[in-house]
Amino acid sequence: MKLLSGIRGLVRKEPITYPHLADWERFEAFCEDVAEMVKEMPRCLALEVGAGEGGRGVQAIRTLSNVCLVDSDIYLSAGRTLLCDAERLPFADSTFDLVIANGVLEHVIDPYLSVAEMHRVLQPNGLVLAQMPFMQGVHMPDADFTRWSYGGFLALFRKFRPLKLEMIRGPGASLAYAIAYFAFAWCNSDRQAEKVKSLINWPIFWISKLDKRLMDKPGSYDLAERFAYLGIKDGTELSHQEIISRFKGRGMDAW
C-alpha cells in the first residue's frame, strides 16, 4: 500500500511517500541505557543543543520525571525555550548535569568550540551525549560541514572520559545512502530529487538491514554511517597516544 501511495504521488503530484533508508533502533537503545544512569540522579538539569523539534531517539531521557530540560536552537520552532548559538552558550560555568547534542555538531562551523562550551557549562561529573554521522552525505543546505570517525569522536571529546562509544548504523546504511545520493546527483531540481527518492528508496532501503549481521565486524567501523558517544567531565583529557590506542576498525586501503 505504501508503494502504491508513492506511485500515486508521482502521477498525481500528491505528497510523495517513501521508506527511510535507516532506522533509529540502536540509538534509542543507547539512550535507554543513558536514561537508566540519569534516573539515579536526584535531579537532572539538562540542555539539548540544536534540539530542533525534539530530536529522534532521546525521548527516553527527555521524558524522565527528574529531568528539567532546556531546549535550545539557533532558529525558532515549536517547543523551543531558548534561542542561542552552540558556539556561545549563554550560561554560567558548571550549570548542567547533562548536555545533549543529537545530530547537530556536523552543522556548526566550529564543533571544537561548541564542545568546549558544552564542557564549560557542565558540572563536574556531568554527562555529554552526542550522536553524529560519519558516512552520510550533506543533508542540510548551507549548514553541513564536518564528519567524524570513531577516532574522530575521541579527539573531538578528548576532555571527557568516554563511557560509551558505539556504532549506531553500519556500512549497510552507508551503502544505501551512497546509492541514493548517487541517484540524486543526476537530478536538476529538488522536485526531481523527491521523485527519484520515492523510486530509489524502495529497492534499496533493505540494504541497511544487513547491518545487524555486520555490527560485530572490525571493518564495519571504517564505513559506519554514524556513532553515538557518552562521556563524563571528570578531569580526564585523552592524550594523542590514548586516542590512537583506542582505534577500532581495519583501516585498510580499498585500492
Q: Please state which of the ranges 166-170, 199-203, 211-215 shows the lowest mean pLDDT.
A: 199-203
* DSSP alpha helix (H) spans, 40-161: 59-62, 111-121, 150-156
**CATH number belonging to the domain at 2-234, selected among 3.30.390.30, 3.90.1560.10, 3.40.47.10, 3.40.50.150:** 3.40.50.150
Distance between CA atoms of residues 11 and 40, nearest Å: 54
Sheet holding 96-102, edge to edge: 82-83, 67-73, 44-49, 96-102, 122-133, 226-232, 161-169
Cβ burial of 170 (10 Å; 0-12, 13-18, 19+) is buried
Q: Length of the chain in residues, anyone?
A: 255
pLDDT tens digit sequence for 59-75? 999 999 999 999 888 87
C-alpha cell at 209: 538491514
Decide: 10 and 195 in contact? Cβ < 8 Å: yes
C-alpha cell at 232: 563524563
For the segment 225-229, the average pLDDT, to the nearest whole number, is: 98
Distance between CA atoms of residues 159 and 92, nearest Å: 19
C-alpha cell at 3: 508503494
Instruction: For the chain, state the CA radius of gyration.
Output: 19
C-alpha cell at 33: 541505557
pLDDT at position 88: 95
Q: How confident is the model at residue 98 (pLDDT cuts 50, 70, 90)?
A: very high
pLDDT tens digit sequence for 149-180? 999 999 999 999 999 999 999 999 999 999 99
Three-state SS string over 186-248 comes to CCCCHHHHHHHHHHHHHHHHHHHHHHHHHCCCHHHHHHCCEEEEEEECCCCCCCHHHHHHCCC
Distance between CA atoms of residues 221 and 246, nearest Å: 12
Q: How far is CA 75 from CA 72, 103, 107, 130, 167, in A?
A: 9, 16, 13, 20, 29
Distance between CA atoms of residues 49 and 84, nearest Å: 9
Q: How confident is the model at residue 15 (pLDDT cuts 50, 70, 90)?
A: low
pLDDT tens digit sequence for 190-199? 999 988 988 8
The DSSP call for residue 138 is -
